[in-house]
């Protein structure tokens, strides 16, 4: 009986569409958030960013970083991607050190629960990179 209930729910068109649409929507929302940050940004140089991806969206996010500055250079250059590291805290500390050393301008953390919580963390090297913190429907947390 449990098997029949499971197959009845999983086999619906709505379940299949929802399973595909939610990750795509979340990735699109993240890209939109970064675009909004671009609009509030005064700098005319490419930002070196790293991505700590705990949810498996690194390829989708990287593919969405195609925006160009007025001078034709890319807005963001993804210089490092850490996908589901063994020690998240160690990876965060390492990226924070790289930001402090000036090797990175900022880094993004995509948490495992991004679909449930709708939270992506943005860690800038300095609050002066952008004119103001940006909040969107994805609840971007600027740290």
The per-residue pLDDT for range 41-84, each reduced to its tens digit, is: 556 778 899 999 888 888 888 888 888 888 888 888 899 999 98
**Chain segment 79-121, per-residue pLDDT in tens:** 999 998 888 899 999 999 998 898 998 888 888 877 777 777 8
Both tokens of residue 25?
């929507």
Under 8 Å CB-to-CB from 120, ≥6 apart: which residues?
Answer: 30, 33, 108, 109, 110, 111, 114, 138, 139, 140, 141
Pair 125, 105: CB distance under 8 Å: yes
Say yes or no to pLDDT of 127 above 60: no
**For the stretch 44-63, what's the b/e string if a residue is b when 16 or more beta carbons lie within 10 angstroms of its beta carbon?**
eeebbbbbbbbbebbebbee
Nearest Cα to 41, choosing from 136, 127, 143?
127
Helices (H) and strands (E) in the chain, counts: 5, 5
Where would I find the H helices in 2-131? 2-10, 13-39, 58-63, 88-100, 114-117
Q: Please indicate, yes or no, whether the overall pTM of this predicted structure exceeds 0.75.
A: no
Count of beta carbons in the 10 Å neighbourhood of residue 93: 11
């Amino acid at each position: 009986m449990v098997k029949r209930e499971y197959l009845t729910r999983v086999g619906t068109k709505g379940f299949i569409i929802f399973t595909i649409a939610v990750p795509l929507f979340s990735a699109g929302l993240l890209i939109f958030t970064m675009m909004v940050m671009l609009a509030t940004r005064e700098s005319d140089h490419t930002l070196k960013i790293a991505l700590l991806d705990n949810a498996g969206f690194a390829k989708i996010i990287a593919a969405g970083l195609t925006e160009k500055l007025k001078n034709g250079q890319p807005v963001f250059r993804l210089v490092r991607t850490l996908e589901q590291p063994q020690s998240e805290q160690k990876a965060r500390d390492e990226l924070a050190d790289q930001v402090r050393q000036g090797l990175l301008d900022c880094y993004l953390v995509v948490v495992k629960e991004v679909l449930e919580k709708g939270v992506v963390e943005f860690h800038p090297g300095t609050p002066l990179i952008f004119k103001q913190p940006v909040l969107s429907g994805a609840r971007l947390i600027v740290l």
